[in-house]
Amino acid sequence: MYQFSYADIQTDSVADARDRERQLLNRSIALLNEAQQAGTDSLKAIEALHFTNRLWTTFVEDLGNAENALPKELRANLISIGLWLLREAEEVRQGRSDNFEGLIEVSQIIRDGIR
């Protein structure tokens, strides 16, 4: 029979969560790259912007939760970045911007910072 300490299970759970976050960001980045190639009026753009919006809405809600274990200042900074991403995605969706590159670059930076 296997015995695991609570700390081992908790560490695995955090590592699993971080891995899922990286995977979701990778998916968002891939969709945004496809959308950039297809153009702002494409179905690819709609799919990418919808996915990115859902992802960052979830991230911002989680970061705003008092039970989130990240340091308060880091959470606040990530919320600010998330809100920028949501606003910029809406600008692209409304046809007022075509800044897929900015969305991609910021998402890559956040993804690369997840450890």
pLDDT in tens, 15-66: 898 999 999 999 999 999 999 999 999 999 999 999 999 999 999 999 999 9
> Is residue 55 within 8 Å of 25, Cβ to Cβ?
yes
Query: 6 lies in a domain?
Result: no
Joined tokens for residue 101? 């590159």
Query: 85 lies in a domain?
Result: yes
Query: 12 lies in a domain?
Result: no
Q: How many Å separate Cα 65 from the centre of its chain? A: 16
Domain count, the chain: 1
Query: 8 lies in a domain?
Result: no
Query: 64 lies in a domain?
Result: yes
Contact partners, residue 89, CB within 8 Å, separation at least 6? 49, 52, 53, 56, 103
**Helix, strand, or coil (residue 95):** coil
User: Residue 59 belongs to what domain range?
Assistant: 18-113
The pLDDT, as a whole number, for residue 12 is 56
Query: 53 lies in a domain?
Result: yes
Number of C-beta neighbours around residue 82 at 10 A: 22
